[in-house]
A = this chain, B = another copy of it.
Amino acid sequence: MEDQVAFLSALAEPTRLAALRILWDGGEHCVCELMTKLGASQSRMSRHMSALKAVGLVADRRDAQWVRYRLTPDLAPSAREILDAVMAAVAEPKRRAA
Protein backbone atom coordinates (compact mmCIF):
# COMPACT_ATOMS: atom_id res chain seq x y z
CA MET A 1 0.00 0.00 0.00
CA GLU A 2 2.99 2.22 0.44
CA ASP A 3 3.33 2.44 -3.30
CA GLN A 4 -0.14 3.82 -3.67
CA VAL A 5 0.46 6.41 -0.99
CA ALA A 6 3.59 7.59 -2.73
CA PHE A 7 1.72 7.62 -6.00
CA LEU A 8 -1.14 9.66 -4.58
CA SER A 9 1.25 12.01 -2.84
CA ALA A 10 2.87 12.68 -6.16
CA LEU A 11 -0.52 13.65 -7.56
CA ALA A 12 -1.48 15.77 -4.58
CA GLU A 13 0.48 18.86 -5.49
CA PRO A 14 -0.81 21.66 -7.73
CA THR A 15 2.25 22.13 -9.92
CA ARG A 16 2.72 18.42 -10.48
CA LEU A 17 -0.94 17.95 -11.24
CA ALA A 18 -0.84 20.81 -13.71
CA ALA A 19 2.27 19.34 -15.32
CA LEU A 20 0.55 16.03 -15.74
CA ARG A 21 -2.37 17.74 -17.32
CA ILE A 22 -0.02 19.13 -19.93
CA LEU A 23 1.66 15.79 -20.45
CA TRP A 24 -1.78 14.29 -20.72
CA ASP A 25 -1.84 15.12 -24.41
CA GLY A 26 0.51 12.20 -24.86
CA GLY A 27 3.31 14.29 -26.25
CA GLU A 28 6.74 15.19 -25.02
CA HIS A 29 7.42 18.42 -23.19
CA CYS A 30 10.67 19.89 -21.97
CA VAL A 31 11.16 21.44 -18.56
CA CYS A 32 11.50 24.89 -20.04
CA GLU A 33 8.10 24.64 -21.63
CA LEU A 34 6.47 23.38 -18.45
CA MET A 35 8.04 26.00 -16.26
CA THR A 36 6.93 28.75 -18.60
CA LYS A 37 3.38 27.52 -18.93
CA LEU A 38 3.01 26.93 -15.24
CA GLY A 39 4.89 29.95 -14.02
CA ALA A 40 7.27 27.88 -11.95
CA SER A 41 10.95 28.49 -11.33
CA GLN A 42 13.43 26.25 -13.06
CA SER A 43 14.62 24.34 -10.01
CA ARG A 44 11.10 23.95 -8.76
CA MET A 45 9.88 22.48 -12.01
CA SER A 46 12.87 20.23 -12.35
CA ARG A 47 12.36 18.82 -8.89
CA HIS A 48 8.67 18.26 -9.42
CA MET A 49 9.30 16.37 -12.62
CA SER A 50 11.91 14.38 -10.81
CA ALA A 51 9.32 13.51 -8.19
CA LEU A 52 6.87 12.36 -10.83
CA LYS A 53 9.57 10.27 -12.39
CA ALA A 54 10.46 8.74 -9.04
CA VAL A 55 7.00 7.23 -8.69
CA GLY A 56 7.00 6.06 -12.26
CA LEU A 57 4.40 8.45 -13.59
CA VAL A 58 6.59 10.01 -16.23
CA ALA A 59 9.61 9.07 -18.27
CA ASP A 60 12.30 11.36 -19.56
CA ARG A 61 14.55 11.36 -22.54
CA ARG A 62 17.52 13.50 -23.26
CA ASP A 63 17.28 15.35 -26.55
CA ALA A 64 20.25 17.60 -27.10
CA GLN A 65 20.16 20.24 -24.42
CA TRP A 66 16.60 19.46 -23.49
CA VAL A 67 15.04 16.75 -21.41
CA ARG A 68 11.71 15.68 -22.83
CA TYR A 69 9.19 14.37 -20.38
CA ARG A 70 6.22 12.21 -21.27
CA LEU A 71 3.72 10.06 -19.46
CA THR A 72 5.05 6.59 -18.78
CA PRO A 73 3.65 4.64 -21.73
CA ASP A 74 3.31 1.28 -20.03
CA LEU A 75 1.99 2.51 -16.72
CA ALA A 76 0.58 -0.25 -14.52
CA PRO A 77 -3.14 -0.69 -15.18
CA SER A 78 -4.23 0.21 -11.68
CA ALA A 79 -2.13 3.36 -11.72
CA ARG A 80 -3.40 4.16 -15.16
CA GLU A 81 -6.97 4.00 -13.99
CA ILE A 82 -6.30 6.34 -11.11
CA LEU A 83 -4.54 8.77 -13.39
CA ASP A 84 -7.35 8.61 -15.91
CA ALA A 85 -9.93 9.37 -13.25
CA VAL A 86 -7.90 12.24 -11.83
CA MET A 87 -7.25 13.78 -15.22
CA ALA A 88 -10.91 13.54 -16.08
CA ALA A 89 -11.76 15.34 -12.86
CA VAL A 90 -9.16 18.03 -13.41
CA ALA A 91 -10.26 18.60 -16.97
CA GLU A 92 -13.87 19.02 -15.95
CA PRO A 93 -15.59 22.36 -16.24
CA LYS A 94 -16.30 24.14 -13.00
CA ARG A 95 -19.28 23.05 -11.01
CA ARG A 96 -20.29 23.54 -7.45
CA ALA A 97 -17.79 22.17 -4.95
CA ALA A 98 -18.02 18.48 -4.20
What is A's interface to B at a CB cutoff of 8 Å?
1-5, 7-9, 11-14, 17-18, 55-56, 75-76, 78-79, 81-82, 84-86, 88-90, 92, 95, 97-98
Contacts and interface: CB of A to CB of B under 8 A. Distances in A.
8 nearest A-B pairs in the assembled complex, by CB-CB distance: A78-B89, A8-B12, A76-B98, A9-B12, A81-B85, A82-B85, A85-B85, A12-B12
A86 to B, nearest CB: 6
Contact of A1 (B75, B76, B90): B90
Nearest to A7: B98
Given A78-B88, A78-B92, A81-B85, A98 B56 contact: yes
Contacts of A86: 4, 8, 82
A97 B72 CA distance: 14
Contact of A5 (B12, B55, B92, B95): B12
